[in-house]
Structure 1
Amino acid sequence: MLTCLLMAILCYSLQKNWATITADKQMEVTQRILVYPDELKFNGNFMTGTAIDIQTGQREAITMSFKSPQMLKNIDKLTTPSIWLINGQLKPIIPRTNENQFDNLTYNHHRRICNQVQINRVEQIVRQKRGIVGWCHTLRKRLSLYFETLPPPLSAYCQQLIIGSSNEDSAELMVSIKRLGLLHLFCISGMHIVLFTDLLRRLLVHLWWRKESIDLFLIIILPFYLLIGGGATSLIRATIMAELGLLHRYLNLDRLDGWALSLLIGLVIDPLLLLTLGGQLSYLLSFILQVLPESVRGFKQSLLLNLISLPSLLSYVYEVHLLSFGVSYLIIPLFSTIVFPAVLVGALSFKLFEPLTYLINAGLKCFQYILNWLSDFPGMIHFGKPPLILALLLFAASLFVISQDTSLKSWKILALLYVITGGIIHLPLNGEVTFVDIGQGDSIIIREPFNRRVTMIDTGGKLNFKKPDWATSKHSQDDAQRITINYLKSKGIRQIDNICLTHHDADHIGYLTTILDNIAVKRLIVSAGMERQPALLNKVRTAEKSSPMIIPVTDNVKLSSFPLQILHPFVPGEGKNEDSLVLAGKFGGKRFLFTGDLDQENEEKVIQKYPQLKSDILKAGHHGSKTASSYLFLQTVAPKYAIISAGRFNRYRHPDEITIKNFQRLNINYLSTQQFGMIQYVYHGRNGKIKTTLRGDETSWTLPNYLHN
């Protein structure tokens, strides 16, 4: 009880301190910052990392876009800590703006970071004296540069397994690993510490070291490896437990006491530790290993560990592969006895006996081929995100099963709970119309009750400007993957019935290939004439999984099993703004109108042809541009709410002040994804309500004055 109280006090004091030091707006700054070279990551010409403000001592997230390959090379090749004199913008970290999106703000709070600095110019770089901590960071960076010279996939294995780092080459490596639920093998954790200390102990025994000297050496070296290995949550836990194990004879702690003490120390380091997937899995699985009887080993142990971790995994990744329960049992012995030692030998032998390195690399290619082959097997269950209360209930039931593992009745109860939870996720009583905060673009998801039909209007996208080869990102996850696909998976949605593409601009169809590669799609509905446009056809052809039917439409077309009425275009066009699909529908007692990027001239043609057209909720045309949402159109349609989908700091200055004034003159409530993030109308029967991911004040510093209500 006292421990819980102390943790609550610590969390409260941290939150209060974060609120004090967090910037409330963007401001120009000139700072001296301490930068450790291994904490910088590069993707094309873009750099991210962390640094310490010399004046305040606060950790900050830093970003920079390089203008020249030489400057990029100079920074990337830094191997020692250095102090930079920089000019840039200090600003708050924007929280997650969509439901179930990765929360960058919370992630940085775990690292004691509250602000970010966008570096415009580096005026000076002065190398710093290393010290013990600096020496560890230098070694980690030099190891990273050395590993980059190794052949793939050995290079990526070394980065992941020896120093806990990732680079562009490891992105492809991790796809199959994640699908099979083997991520814990490739994140430095307890297993790696055990293997590392075991190999080191054997080496020192062969060198005739005494046991006491070996233990003392390991006690001293493990904290340094914590820094060299990247300091991940699981590594902190494993290092603390390893230290306590080595100090066992002095502290007289049993295994559970050691686990509890490691948890307390971990919570002091990061009070939000157990709110992360890594923290939950690391401490949970290590706890189960402490309490399982010695008789429970092999496949049974693997099954129980997978079972106990399943509620946490589903709460964060929303899906699980059936092969995970068997593959981990087969792969873990192979990994610990062959793969991990082979990676170490391959890294060491590259300068001494290169043929051995290439032989090991060939073996790793075969291992990776097997993982890719297994991950392509059918069996991926898109379960969705369980409600918190049900996730806790599933966890409690799993603990009960472990304690009563011979009872068939307990297994039946657990299975029934999963069936009920899956039914609640996949057959919801409510429906929703969701305006995704996809940046400078449009993406709207209409999900009807019981998920009987899912319709998407536009996919969002970015304009891709030509970059030189040195500045091009080799591996980058687009917003559709991070936001839209993530959201659909969290709702247990495996299939989209209709994707309506209003016109061919990149900010409306740019992420189509990503959607098709990740979610089954039945039909693509496009404005007539657009089905011949290369911008669309190329995206459909390059998709590797879905091959939907393309249906061109005008307002005369009536589609079966389609929840919307088509109001525009009247005749075939070329998929331009003036040819935009205009769609209307009624959900939860409210009339919705979606106008794409339709211009004012054609808006007026729509209301001339449909003079009785009314709307309760209007998706403002062309992201709130003055080229759309004419006063006459708004007056005729008379919406109560207008939803503006536009990106923060967009180059077009959307929404336009003229559009906002039109809304104000007609007493139309307007909500912008810039300010409120994802905007949802959630309904049950004929009743519903609007909910937003943000309150509206979190990103107010990003908005022009006329957007403040």
Structure 2
Amino acid sequence: MIQIICAGWIFGISFLGKNIHPFFQLSTISFYLFATLLVVEFVIHLRISNNYLRLMNALFACAIATVLGMSFSNHQLLERLKYRVEKTDDVEIVVAVNSLNQLKPETIQQQLVVLNQFEKPIIWNSSLKIEQHEALEIGQYYRLQGKVSPIHSYATLGVFDIEQWYIQQNWMGNFQIKAVEKLSEQDIKTLGYTAYVKQNQSFLAKFKRWVELQRLDIRHFIQKQPIQHKGLTLALLTGDESFLNKQIEAQFQRFGMSHLLAISGPHVLIFACMMCWLIHQIIQKYCPQIYLKIPKQYLLIFPFLSCVFLYCAYVGFEIPALRTLLVTLLASVWILFKFPIKALTLLLLSASLLLIFDPFSILSAAFWLSYGACFVLLRIYQTIQEQNFESRNITEKVIQALKILVESQWKIFVALFPLMIIFFKQIAWITPLSNLFAIPFIGLIIVPLDVLAGMSYFLFEPLSQLFFQINNLCIALLLSIMNGIYAILSPQLIPIAMNFWMMLCVILSFIILFLPQGLVPKFWAAICLLPFILSENTKHPFELSILDVGQGQSIFIQAQNHTVMVDTGGYYDEEKFSVGQQIIQPFLSVKGFRTVSHLFLTHLDQDHSGAFSYLKNKLNFEQVYSNEQLDISPSFKFEYCQKGQVFHINPHIKIEVLSPKAEQLAVAKFDKNENSCVLYVQVLNAKNYQNYLLMGDAGWQTEYEILQAYPNLKVDVLVLGHHGSQHSSSYAFLEKIRPKMAIVSAGFNNRYGHPSAIVETRLNELNIPFLSTIENGTIQFSQNKKGDIYINKERDQRLWLKRNNLRS
């Protein structure tokens, strides 16, 4: 029963941030009522013998736990959202610095406890330019001046959600520091924050700051060492990535080994086992009689737990470390009270407890990957227990151990495949092979040496230096092996395109494969073929998405398996942030597409076509159109877009080019905006929104020419020209076509002030509804099987994405 309750609780927490039915948003009284019912159900369960009633009872208990989890997590989220920054502003703040900073190439990232913005202290993430200011000191108070801004994500399906990440970290805003003034503790009390000072002087608060100072000391010590791989050494020891080389990160990503760069459960256990082994040796040598009074497993439990707790604190209580702490704590309780240890129960119970203390952990990929890997290892362990090793010789045992190592790696790779796709949209095919040598090498050699070096630092620095140098040689050997494999095999990350239904079927098939023998027939795993059978039926007859790509434009049109993309968007510096890699490709992966039938680049401005330079090497574009010649390989089919072209995507969907005229193409290079490709999309069997006009960056001149050439043009949805600039969307143009809906694609806090207040005034005077990707994220027009087209806004999908005044 405890497993069912924990599974229901975890499942309920996983709905964190989703818009749930009001029935599930329970008050505190309802919470206790359901808790009471849960206890009653548990008692009833003990008295029921009928299997059917037991099943019903288990389902009811799981349902109650799920409702409680949903209510608890969303209540916690709503409380947290009260304190986030809603608009950009210049402010003066009073702060406390209690945590270690992170060093970046040009800035220092620092968490600040802000005391003077709300009725309680909140946390902002700040950035400090290295050349202008010194780093803020741990344990000190400051008065800071600077600019605070809300956290803003590209709200597009499949894209990494920065707002979610900030909510998970409990960071309520971004702060750019401009001026720094150090304050004394007495100054803080004078300002009226005596209660916080008292709280900050508690034993636990002092202990946390002491740990952070030790992490800072070890960073400085490693920085001074004459070793090459300081970043990897520091990251594996304390989780601090301040010195981590971007090339090393990329190399580990290509090999599917990024998880090895972070602190994991084995790191913690290695340290605890080392310390307990040392304690055991001391006891055995000087006072072995203690074991006659207290058995070894009981005597070493407390130092073992203390070491696990200390190391978890040392690495900042990261999720894998917390998981290890909770599992070891629960296992110790089981041992002390002589309960039989059930590994699956321990795993589920530790996850449930972690989510009670921090329900936002459910948002982390580390949570799912960590517990997912543990579940697979548990199944492997259960398989090993069924085998007889006693009668085998050493050679047979070694061979069997190698078989288990190989089996564990491919099983973990296969089992975590869906999670890797969900969170990262790509996979490294070489992962099982690379983990075969990397996990033993890092876990049995590099990490122990790193831990020994870290421990020696507090005892005898010359010994610590020796261990760090030996460890550096081992890291160099590991990287040399990886470089050799890369030279031979050239492993790369492979983007995977799977839609929701395909992913669901794959997950179900893996669950069937990993269930214990006898529960269900293994051939049922053939369900994984269903995505390819059902994929046609799960795609909308028509879907047009105005993607949130920031200050730019990209529109994706889907009609069953036919795909059209209008523009790709583009960051002003695609090397710094690639819209193609970070937004367009993940979106298409989630949609299940790697091929685009038609790509229209309305013109070659960076914000409309900049991402194409990346995408042309990653996706298959069957036909490319633009108003200028593109620098592309001969294998691409290219054609100029010009007035009069008509494309029938299917019998019900037609795309027509309204501008530019053929004779205007010669000057398109010199007047890109007015010669943008203007597209008219018609969905002949649709209701509500049937006709779409996509203006590119076209302005008043083009609008006039379109009205002259197409006086009876019917428009239901108008994507405003030039991101809502005042030099587009003239009053006469809007008055004539009278769309049911106007859409603008623009970036948060953009320097051009798009969309223009003048354009918004025109729309309001004409009673034309208006949506912007700034407030709504990706805006999607989807047709159901009845022909109705309805609007979806990406920022309606999660509570933390719903924002107001994002254009301020």
TM-score for the superposition, normalised by structure 2: 0.73
Supply the distance in 1 between the matched residues of 2:476 and 2:648 (Cα, whole angstroms).
54
Counterpart for residue 793 of structure 2: 692
Match of 1:382 among 490, 496, 501: 496
Counterpart of 1:421 in structure 2 is 531
Residue range with higher mean Cα deviation, 265-274 or 239-248: 239-248
Amino acid at match of 1:87: Q
Return the index of the structure with the highest Cα Rg.
2
| Pair 1:58-2:146 in alignment | no
1:443 deviates by: 1.2
Deviations 1:372-423 (A, max 9, x none): 46884589461424359x73x755654443334489x833322x32222355
Q: Aligned pair count?
A: 670
Residue in structure 1 matched with residue 169 of structure 2 by the alignment: 111
Distance (Å, rounded) in 1 between the aligned partners of 2:500 and 2:263: 28
Instruction: For 1:525-674, list aligned pairs within 5 A.
Output: 525-528=625-628, 530-531=629-630, 537=631, 548-555=636-643, 564-570=655-661, 571=664, 572-575=666-669, 576-587=672-683, 589=686, 590-674=690-774
Q: Shift of residue 441 of structure 1? A: 1.1
Structure 1 359/320 Cα, relative in aligned 2: closer, same or farther at 3 Å? Answer: closer
Counterpart of 1:270 in structure 2 is 358
Inter-CA distance 329–81: structure 2 relative to 1 (3 Å threshold): same
CA-CA distance at 1:275 after TM superposition: 4.5
Structure 1 letter corresponding to 2:529: V
Q: Alignment partner for residue 402 of structure 1, among 514, 525, 532?
A: 514
Question: Displacement of 1:604 after TM fit?
Answer: 1.3
SS in 2 for 1:86: strand
Matches within 5 A, 1:184-223: 184-201=259-276, 216-223=302-309
Is the 1:443–1:456 Cα contact (8 Å) retained in structure 2? yes
Matching of residue 441 in structure 1 with residue 552 in structure 2:
yes
Shift in Å at residue 240 of structure 1?
A: 2.4
Cα distance change of structure 1 residues 189 and 428 upon mapping to structure 2, 3 Å threshold: same
**Aligned match for 1:461, one of 565, 570, 587:** 570
State the Cα RMSD in Å. Answer: 3.9
Opposite residue 163 of structure 1, the aligned amino acid is: T
SS in 2 for 1:131: helix
1:504-527 deviations in Å (ceiling 9; x for gaps): 322222322232344333444221
The answer on whether the counterparts of 1:384 and 1:425 sit within 8 Å (CA) in structure 2 is: no
Give per-residue Cα distances to partners, 1:50-99, cap 9 Å, x unaligned: 22224555342323363xx5325x22xx5634322123455654466222
**C-alpha distance in 2 between matches for 1:438 and 1:275:** 23
Q: What is the one-letter code of the residue matched to 1:135?
A: W
Say whether residues 1:140 and 2:225 are aligned partners.
no
Deviation at 1:439?
1.3
The offset of 1:226, in angstroms, is 1.4
- Call closer, same or farther: CA 1:655–1:403 in 2, change over 3 Å: closer
* Correspondence 1:115-130 to 2 at 5 A: 115-125=172-182
For residues 365 and 509 of structure 2, the distance between their equivalents in structure 1, rounded to whole angstroms, comes to: 19
1:644 deviates by 0.6
Paired residues of 1:33 and 1:83 also in contact (CA < 8 A): yes
Q: What amino acid is aligned across from residue 112 of structure 2 in structure 1?
A: A
1:556-604 C-alpha deviation (Å, 9 max, x unpaired): 6677979632222222224321221212222463222222111211221
1:362 aligns with 2:476: yes
- What residue is the counterpart of 1:44 in the other structure? 106
Range that drifts further, 554-563 or 50-59: 554-563
Q: 1:529-572 deviations in whole A, cap 9, x for unaligned?
A: x54xxxxx4xx69xxxx974543343366779796322222222
Change (3 A) 1:242 1:186: farther
- Asked if structure 2 preserves the Cα contact closer than 8 Å seen for 1:40 and 1:50, the reply is no
Residue aligning to 2:522: 411
Give the 3 Å change call, closer, same or farther, for CA 371–500 of structure 1 in structure 2: farther
**Pairwise CA distance, 1:679:** 0.4
- Secondary structure of the corresponding residue to residue 723 of structure 2: helix
Distance of 2:450 and 2:488 partners within structure 1: 22
Q: CA deviation at 1:167?
A: 4.6
CA distance in 2, matches of 1:552, 1:346: 64
Q: Given that residues 268 and 324 in structure 2 are in contact (C-alpha distance below 8 angstroms), is that contact kept between their aligned partners in structure 1?
A: yes
Over the matched positions of the two proteins, sequence identity in percent amounts to 20
Secondary structure of the residue that 1:99 maps to in structure 2? coil
Q: What residue identity is the alignment partner of 2:269?
A: V
Task: Quote how far apart the aligned CAs of 1:647 are.
Answer: 1.4
Distance in 1 between residues matched to 2:241 and 2:365, nearest whole Å: 18
- Secondary structure of 1:105's counterpart equals helix
Structure 1 residues 669 and 261: CA distance shift in structure 2, 3 A: closer
Q: Could you tell me how far 1:318 is from its partner in structure 2? A: 3.5
Residue 420 of structure 2 is aligned to residue 313 of structure 1? yes
C-alpha distance 622-168 of structure 1, shift in aligned 2 (>3 A): farther
The answer to whether residue 327 in structure 2 is matched with residue 241 in structure 1 is yes
The SS at the match of 2:585 is: helix
Any unmatched runs of 5+ in structure 2? 6-34, 39-64, 186-200, 286-295, 388-403, 458-462
Displacement of 1:220 in angstroms is: 2.3
Do the aligned partners of residues 671 and 354 (structure 1) sit closer, same or farther apart at CA in structure 2, a change above 3 Å counting?
Answer: closer
TM-superposed deviation, 1:621: 0.3
With 559-568 and 630-639 compared, the bigger mean Cα shift is at 559-568
The CA deviation at 1:234 is: 1.5
Contact 1:426 1:492 in 2 (8 A): no
Indicate conservation of the 8 Å contact 2:168/2:363, yes or no: no
More displaced stretch, 3-12 vs 426-435: 3-12
1:33 aligns with 2:90: no
CA distance in structure 2 between the aligned counterparts of 1:339 and 1:372, rounded to whole angstroms? 21
- Retained in 2: the 8 A contact 1:629–1:659? yes
Which residue number corresponds to residue 707 of structure 1? Answer: none
SS in 2 for 1:33: strand
Deviation at 1:214, TM superposition (A): 6.3
Q: Secondary structure at the match of 2:805?
A: helix
Letter of the 2:96 partner, please give it.
L
- Residue 425 of structure 1 deviates from its aligned partner by 5.2
Give distance in 1, aligned partners of 2:316 and 2:489: 28
Q: For residues 631 and 567 of structure 1, do their structure 2 counterparts lie closer, same or farther at Cα, with a shift above 3 Å needed?
A: same
Question: What letter is aligned with 2:178?
Answer: R
Cα distance in 2 for partners of 1:177, 1:412 equals: 36
Which amino acid in the other structure matches residue 420 of structure 2?
A: L
Residue in 1 that maps onto 2:22: none
Q: Give the C-alpha shift of residue 23 in structure 1.
A: 5.1
Counterpart residue identity of residue 514, structure 2: I
Aligned residue for 2:164, secondary structure, equals: helix
Query: Match of 2:76?
Result: 14
TM-score, length basis structure 1: 0.82
Task: Give the Å deviation of 1:678.
Answer: 0.6
Provide the C-alpha distance between the structure 1 equivalents of 2:99 and 2:179, rounded to a whole number of angstroms.
15
